[in-house]
């Protein structure tokens, strides 16, 4: 079974550039979560969607960050313009909101470095 697929695995770019991270959730999962992992704050939620609708984006750091889920099998997290402090590992996870007490399934993450 295909798990959560994220791309790219690694991204190195210069500050000021636009960065787009992509996620394909597990087929049949209707909840999708974007997390960011940093040394200081651990794994923190940025935004999540249920049935393609954003439910909570209070974790999005600032207006430079945006996320979309145009359909049930694809989501993007965009940073424009990027800054060095955005460097982190970004994880996407999915789960089913139809089944209680189930774990979230994580992708392998995108390691982002902004120079």
Catalog residues that contact another protein under the rule CB under 8 A.
3-4, 30-31, 33, 35, 41-45, 48, 50, 55-56, 91, 95-109
Helix, strand, coil shares of the chain, percent, nearest 5, are: 5, 55, 45
Tell me the C-alpha distance between 30 and 86, whole Å.
27
Which helix (H) or strand (E) covers residue 6, if one does?
Answer: strand 5-7
Which of 97/113 has CB closer to another protein? 97
Least distance to another protein, CB of residue 29, Å: 10
Least distance to another protein, CB of residue 68, Å: 18
The tokens describing 67, both together, are: 């996320």
Which of 10/14 has CB closer to another protein? 10
């Amino acid at each position: 079974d295909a798990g959560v697929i994220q791309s790219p695995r690694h991204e190195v770019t210069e500050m000021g550039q636009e960065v787009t991270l992509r996620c394909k959730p597990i087929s049949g999962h209707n909840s999708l979560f974007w997390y960011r992992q940093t040394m200081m704050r651990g794994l923190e939620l940025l935004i999540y969607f249920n049935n393609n609708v954003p439910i909570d984006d209070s974790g999005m750091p600032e207006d430079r960050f945006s996320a979309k889920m145009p359909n049930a099998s694809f989501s993007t997290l965009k940073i424009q313009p990027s800054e060095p402090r955005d460097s982190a590992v970004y994880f996407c996870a999915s789960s089913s909101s139809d089944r209680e007490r189930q774990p979230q399934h994580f992708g392998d993450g995108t390691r982002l470095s902004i120079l």
